[in-house]
Amino acid sequence: ETGVTQTPRHLVMGMTNKKSLKCEQHLGHNAMYWYKQSAKKPLELMFVYSLEERVENNSVPSRFSPECPNSSHLFLHLHTLQPEDSALYLCASSQERGGNSYEQYFGPGTRLTVT
């Protein structure tokens, strides 16, 4: 898991707080992803960045705001969250080749609790 790191590992925040999740990949990949993992549900893709441009936004509420300043770093800015946003947030990266993405490598996740 040292290939993709995420901080913090745990975060408790109130509904009026603003916080940010950070992800860094050390694999030289050119695509990065944010996923939400809730209990007993399939992984939900939130955002995809390819070559630092956002290419996918799966109808995520605007209280989640991604930022990708370079190919190695990805942020997820959080504000005015709801209790149902409590989940494990996973970052992943992959190498895109000719428009095809292959296996993704994941960070350990940030366990978010919204109170």
Partner 1 sequence: AQSVAQPEDQVNVAEGNPLTVKCTYSVSGNPYLFWYVQYPNRGLQFLLKYITGDNLVKGSYGFEAEFNKSQTSFHLKKPSALVSDSALYFCAVRDDSNYQLIWGAGTKLIIKP
The residue ranges that bind partner 1 (CB under 8 A) are 1, 4, 6, 40-43, 45, 48, 56, 90, 92, 96, 99-109, 111
Question: Which residue lies nearer to partner 1 by CB, 19 or 111?
Answer: 111
**Which residue lies nearer to partner 1 by CB, 64 or 89?**
89
Q: State in angstroms the smallest separation of the CB of 41 from partner 1.
A: 7
Q: What string of H, E and C letters represents the secondary structure of the chain?
A: CCCEEEECCEEEECCCCEEEEEEEECCCCCEEEEEEECCCCCCEEEEEEECCEEEEECCCCCCEEEEEEECCEEEEEEECCCHHHCEEEEEEEECEECCEECCCEECCCEEEEEC
Tell the smallest beta-carbon distance from residue 108 to partner 1 (Å): 5
